[in-house]
Chains A and B, each alone.
Chain A
Amino acid sequence: MIHMKEVYKKYPNGVVAVNGISVDINQGEFVYVVGPSGAGKSTFIKLMYREEVPTSGEVIINGINTAQLKRKEVPLFRRHLGVVFQDFKLLPKLTVYENVAFAMEVIEEQPKKIRKRVLEVLELVGLKHKLRMFPNELSGGEQQRVSIARSIVNMPKVVIADEPTGNLDPETSWEIMRIFEQINALGTTVVMATHNREIVNKIRKRVIAIEGGMIVRDVDGGDYGYEI
């Protein structure tokens, strides 16, 4: 599913963000990626959705070696992943419905199927009643739910989330986590970078801790392990 082998990433400014990471994540797993700020979590995540390519080593997602993708093939590759961001990244001029539908329009799906599936996922994240609203009319938690709906609308095998609860209050964060658990229960792999200690300690899953660009701990059902 996700296979990384001796991955190094050195940025042009000389910073080595990932310093030899090898890891395998299987279909249906739920994985937290934890670690202090600047440890390389974000780069680790970006390598997965090919926002970055490794300087050396292999990143293979769904059987595709990201380093070998041509620029033109990147969009096609991303359609098989769902990505959720800390800042939601919704299209401000599109309604809730249109934002989610956009991901399906991109793959030129039939309008009938789009309508059916978008309503389905909006129901799942509990926003069916707000489908005509624009992102700036929603709360942070609601915006994140739209973003999650968009990430799963094409039924990807993997959902990658970069601090999805980073901008949300604790209560809303729990709601978001419940949605991720639901998605995971349907068989989708979830990889989530997070700083949220409470969540990691309560909803026990596999924990990968990264420090200085290396994996320092990889425990099934582990705890957050850092004092904030």
Chain B
Amino acid sequence: MKYRTLQRHFRESLKSLSRNGWMSVASISAVTVTLLLVGIFALVMMNLNHFADNIENDVEIRVLIDIINEPEKMKAAEDKLIKQVKSLPEVAEVKYSSKEEELKILIENYGEDFSLYEQSNPLRNVLYVKAKDPQQTAELAKKIDKLDNTYDVIYGEEKVKNLFSFLNTGRNIGLVLILGLLFTAIFLIYNTIRITITARRDEIEIMKLVGATSSFVRTPFLFEGLWLGLFGSIIPIFVVSIVYHYVYNHLTPRIKGEMLQLLDVTPLVFQVNFILLALGIFIGVWGSFMSVRKFLRVY
């Protein structure tokens, strides 16, 4: 195809968009409404997922270390243990906390009564271990338990199991909902485009009778689909940006310090907007392609 012809198709598509007036408005509105739903839902789901990640990442393993009476041997044993734990492939982070530090935390949390123990500290030195993938926590805990010089390995087995199964169910439901919504969006937009093109099937027939090749007939329709998607995604993009900005600024000061933090405006809003734009354009072009194809085959 010559560049000149491509330009012609480009011009024709815009012309046709304006001359088909209400049909174009109807299609663009359908795209707008559906993408708006997709956008807002995506914001909510991505934040929920973020909450889940936060909760999961808070899960850590406490490794209580055996007490050996000779301080030097104790030090050597601890160093060896730390080294061994760090070398495990699932481990993301290892933090050492001496029994003195542990007691301080205890006193901070539960009060001065515990300062009695400062005379004779019954606590043990502790390693705090985080898994790369929080879902591997149980497995990792078992591995660490088998190493020498560990007295006990604690990670709240039941609690973690329940939490993870809850979060995973939540994520799966979200995924199903998102897929359902996407499918509905594709179906709705495709149908609207198909109706507009069906109304113009005679035009396709005439073009073919005058000697237009299939690609000559098709290309302006593809451009038109692109415009429908592009123009249809403008309002959702603005709404998503403004609404999330507002919600973020409004809510963040109130939930400061809580575990549940909203995702930052950037890059989230850019990501969602990109998805909306890409989705709009893709469905627009693909919908046009499929609809025109049907009539091109006939003539």
Contacts and interface: CB of A to CB of B under 8 A. Distances in A.
Given A106-B216, A111-B4, A92 B203 contact: yes
Interface in A77-94: 77-79, 83, 89-93
A93 B19 contact: yes
Contacts of B4: 108, 110-111
Interface in B1-57: 2, 4-5, 8, 16, 19-20
B116 interface: no
Contact of B210 (A76, A77, A92, A103): A103
B209 interface: yes
B68 interface: no
Contacts of B106: none
Contact of A103 (B19, B202, B211): B211
Contact of A75 (B16, B19, B205, B212): B212
Contacts of B2: 108
Contacts of B212: 75, 102, 106
Contacts of A106: 207, 210-213, 216
A91 B213 CA distance: 16
A106 B211 CA distance: 7
A74 B297 CA distance: 13
A109 B207 CA distance: 16
A89 B211 contact: no
B209 A91 contact: no
B206 interface: yes
A105 interface: yes
Given A91-B203, A108-B2, A108-B4, A102 B19 contact: no
A203 interface: no
A129 interface: no
B211 A93 contact: no
B206 A89 contact: yes
B8 A75 contact: no
A78 B20 contact: no
Contacts of A105: 5, 8
A78 B203 contact: no
B298 to A, nearest CB: 11
B208 interface: yes
A105 B10 CA distance: 13
Most buried by A among B19, B202, B207, B211: B211
A150 B5 CA distance: 19
Contacts of B203: 91-93
Contact of A79 (B5, B19, B211, B214): B211
B208 A93 contact: no
Contacts of B206: 89-91
A78 B210 CA distance: 7
A110 B205 CA distance: 24
Contacts of B207: 91, 102, 106
A83 B205 CA distance: 13
A72 B209 CA distance: 13
B211 A78 contact: yes
Nearest to A102: B210
Contacts of A92: 202-203
B210 A150 contact: yes
Interface string A41-55: 000000001010000
Given A108-B5, A111-B4, A93 B16 contact: yes
Given A90-B206, A91-B206, A106-B216, A76 B211 contact: yes
Most buried by A among B5, B19, B207, B210: B210
Interface of A: 49, 51, 72, 74-79, 83, 89-93, 102-103, 105-108, 110-111, 150
10 shortest interchain CB distances as A-B pairs? A79-B211, A78-B211, A93-B19, A106-B212, A75-B213, A75-B211, A89-B206, A103-B210, A108-B5, A106-B211
19 contacts: A51-B209, A75-B211, A75-B213, A75-B214, A75-B216, A78-B209, A79-B211, A83-B210, A89-B202, A89-B205, A89-B209, A91-B203, A92-B202, A93-B19, A102-B210, A103-B210, A105-B8, A108-B5, A150-B210
